[in-house]
Structure 1
């Protein structure tokens, strides 16, 4: 089956005001409607989606490596707010006007940070990680995830070191496969998809595990913005068969109540790989 993973049409790096370089990949027409992609944990700009959709939909899909991953230079101590500052410059330099954003899995808080900072006109959160450290999830996290959240709250620096010691392509791949239901394993172990996924992970770890570790600290901590203040439309896409313990514990139900213009799509027969199994619906929910 074709899950829409194709080679990027364009690759590049944009220099930020402090001299760092931010790596990106693009698919679709260069003059198309811009959509920024915030990839999932420990993956790079190389792993796209919707390869059979972006051309006909007129979408310019831009996946951006977060600092320290793939082709983006490190930024020790970075935050969700500093990420938004980096993207503000990228938008200006790349002539992206006011793009939309897609945040998959651990990329969700990064996409929502762009909305909270007024940089995008809409967001699609796909199988997204929620604000796991929020009190509304005090009693609904798995024991393993609760331990991670508590570790970040108690000592973020020590937690970051621990995440770095764990982080590698093989360790993350094994964790993903173990935590996924059969519907997702069928996607992830498809030979073409697996090659693309693991290549993106290899590139993400090409500078070492520090970028992944910093991402995980940010994902497991409190967000520096209130989702209730997000003023743009947010589509929340979840599959009812999703078993990942680090996605939203309630599959976006409470987040939909918090974000004023949220629309929740709960697909009964789907699991967590919605970015590739339902790319057309996700992309066509965004403004054109």
Structure 2
């Protein structure tokens, strides 16, 4: 019978054998593959991110794939078209000619003053009003180069092409009120009188005491604080922020109840006719209308309204500003400060009024009389 061989293996040899076995059985990526995979992932992510922040091209009115042109339009010197709508007496017979500037997420049909003004006052004072679609809204071509100044020059050119004369009145509501500030800066010599109806405040205008603007800003809804912060600090991100689904976008576009005063809720019924044309407002795309409005309105301005000089030093005209003390969209505290800094402005603070006060019965009659004939 054959005998077995008894061999002793040292502990060190056993450990070395185990290590070699593990090394042979472990999986290893080919050299450089992990680095290449990471690079590809980053490239893919950046490509997705770039696409996500790029707005689609606008659907230009009158183009092959764009909405039809239904309104009268002028062609500006840079080739863009501006759509407009006329109200009141024929301009050839008018004593007073007014350019009305609509607000955010609106169009030429939202000519609040023209729509609510008493026909008797229109005839008595000989009032002609023209409202127009601001660039990118309604049927006016977008302006990719839009600035605070360009809007004032658009209004001047509109007035010239329509033959409104050397001087005309300008009235702006809400975001349209910001445009009126630019008219006071860049075309004061063309103005016969001015009306600012709860003009939107840019919290980053120089001249506000830091504690005052910060307090007013912090009173806004969190969603609105973020939206305005993006528009000011990262305008290239506005399209993505306003269209993504993770966080709520700006509340003003939907006029949610949280930003409406008691009076505003009552006046909402007076805006029911918007259903007839609301689809036209954003028909060329939200970026060139809503989003660019935010980027320009809350961006870094070339001037501060608080540095403006009185355009009527000889009292040949007047500037009026109306503000509701219960406006939850435009802070009354900042409006009061502007009025203090500019004592030549006739400031009218309305007790119990919200943002939509121009729709209240008789309100626009009082506004127009104050601007045109100085009646209190």
Same fold (TM > 0.5):
yes
Q: CA RMSD in A?
A: 2.4
Q: Provide the rounded CA distance (Å) in 2 between the counterparts of 1:134 and 1:181.
A: 26
**Alpha carbons 1:124, 1:234 under 8 Å: kept:** yes
Q: Provide the rounded CA distance (Å) in 1 between the counterparts of 2:85 and 2:98.
A: 12
Q: Provide the rounded CA distance (Å) in 2 between the counterparts of 1:172 and 1:243.
A: 10
Q: Provide the rounded CA distance (Å) in 1 between the counterparts of 2:182 and 2:277.
A: 23
Residues 239 and 151 of structure 1, relative CA distance in 2, 3 Å threshold: same
Matched with 1:162 is: 241
Structure 1 position 139 matched with structure 2 position 215 = yes
Matched with 1:5 is: none
Q: Provide the rounded CA distance (Å) in 2 between the counterparts of 1:243 and 1:139.
A: 14
SS of 2:135's equivalent in the other structure is coil
Report deviation, 1:70. Answer: 0.4
Structure 1 position 219 matched with structure 2 position 219 = no
Residues 165 and 13 of structure 1, relative CA distance in 2, 3 Å threshold: farther
Q: Provide the rounded CA distance (Å) in 2 between the counterparts of 1:51 and 1:287.
A: 13
Q: What are the superposed Cα offsets for residues 23-68 of structure 1, whole Å, 9 maximum, x if unpaired? A: 1112111232111111111100012233424333321111121111
Structure 1 position 23 matched with structure 2 position 83 = yes
Q: Can you give the 5+ residue segments of structure 2 that lack an aligned partner in the other structure?
A: 1-70, 246-250, 312-317
Q: Provide the rounded CA distance (Å) in 2 between the counterparts of 1:198 and 1:173.
A: 15
Q: Provide the rounded CA distance (Å) in 1 between the counterparts of 2:284 and 2:194.
A: 29
Q: Provide the rounded CA distance (Å) in 2 between the counterparts of 1:113 and 1:126.
A: 15
Q: Provide the rounded CA distance (Å) in 1 between the counterparts of 2:278 and 2:366.
A: 26
Q: Can you give the 5+ residue segments of structure 1 that lack an aligned partner in the other structure?
A: 1-10
Q: Provide the rounded CA distance (Å) in 2 between the counterparts of 1:282 and 1:140.
A: 27
46-55 vs 86-95, which moves further: 46-55
- In structure 2, which of residues 330, 341, 349 is the aligned counterpart of residue 266 of structure 1? 349
SS of 2:201's equivalent in the other structure is coil
| TM-score normalised by the chain length of structure 1 | 0.84
- In structure 2, which of residues 108, 132, 136 is the aligned counterpart of residue 64 of structure 1? 132
Q: What are the superposed Cα offsets for residues 52-91 of structure 1, whole Å, 9 maximum, x if unpaired? A: 2433332111112111100101111311111122122111
**Alpha carbons 2:98, 2:171 under 8 Å: kept:** yes
Q: What are the superposed Cα offsets for residues 72-118 of structure 1, whole Å, 9 maximum, x if unpaired? A: 01111311111122122111111112111111111111111112112
Q: Provide the rounded CA distance (Å) in 2 between the counterparts of 1:39 and 1:173.
A: 14
Query: Which structure dedicates a bigger proportion of its chain to helix?
Result: 2
Q: Provide the rounded CA distance (Å) in 1 between the counterparts of 2:256 and 2:90.
A: 33
SS of 1:83's equivalent in the other structure is helix
Matched with 2:184 is: 115
Q: Provide the rounded CA distance (Å) in 2 between the counterparts of 1:67 and 1:164.
A: 21
- In structure 2, which of residues 280, 284, 289 is the aligned counterpart of residue 203 of structure 1? 280
Residues 15 and 126 of structure 1, relative CA distance in 2, 3 Å threshold: same
Matched with 1:48 is: 111
Matched with 2:371 is: 286
Residues 54 and 144 of structure 1, relative CA distance in 2, 3 Å threshold: farther
Q: Provide the rounded CA distance (Å) in 1 between the counterparts of 2:131 and 2:240.
A: 27
Where relative contact order (Cα < 8 A, 6+ residues apart) is larger, the structure is 1
Q: Provide the rounded CA distance (Å) in 1 between the counterparts of 2:73 and 2:202.
A: 30
| TM-score normalised by the chain length of structure 2 | 0.66
Report deviation, 1:175. Answer: 2.7
SS of 1:186's equivalent in the other structure is helix
Q: Provide the rounded CA distance (Å) in 2 between the counterparts of 1:69 and 1:238.
A: 25
Which 4+ stretches in 1 moved above 6 angstroms? Answer: none
Structure 1 position 14 matched with structure 2 position 91 = no
